[in-house]
Structure 1
Amino acid sequence: MTLKVFQCKECGSTVFPARYVCFGCGGAEWRERVAERGTIDELTTVRRRIGAQDGSDVLLASVTTDAGPIVIARLERAMRAGDAVRLAIDEQNRVLALPIA
Structure 2
Amino acid sequence: MTLKVFQCRQCGTTLFPARYFCPACGGGEWDERVVEHGTVAEATIVHHRVGVQEGSEVHLASVATDAGPIVIARLERATQAGDRVRLEIDEARRILAQRI
Q: What's the % identity of the aligned pairs?
A: 68
- Structure 2: which amino acid aligns with 1:59? H
Provide the rounded CA distance (Å) in 1 between the counterparts of 2:44 and 2:63: 12
CA contact (8 A) 2:48 2:54 kept: no
Unaligned stretches of 5+ in structure 1?
Answer: none
CA contact (8 A) 1:49 1:55 kept: no
- Equivalenced residue count is 100
* Pairs within 5 Å for 1:9-28: 9-28=9-28
1:48 offset after TM fit, Å? 1.3
RMSD: 1.2
1:65 offset after TM fit, Å? 0.2
Provide the rounded CA distance (Å) in 1 between the counterparts of 2:71 and 2:97: 10
Which runs of 4 or more aligned residues in structure 1 lie more than 4 Å from their structure 2 counterparts after TM superposition? none
- Give the TM-score normalised by the residue count of structure 2: 0.95
Provide the rounded CA distance (Å) in 1 between the counterparts of 2:6 and 2:53: 34
Unaligned stretches of 5+ in structure 2?
Answer: none
* Pairs within 5 Å for 1:77-96: 77-96=77-96
Q: Which moved more, 1:51-60 or 1:82-91?
A: 51-60
Give CA-to-partner distance per residue, 1:24-83, whole Å, 9 cap, x none: 100000000001000000011112110236761101000000011000000101111000
- Give the TM-score normalised by the residue count of structure 1: 0.94
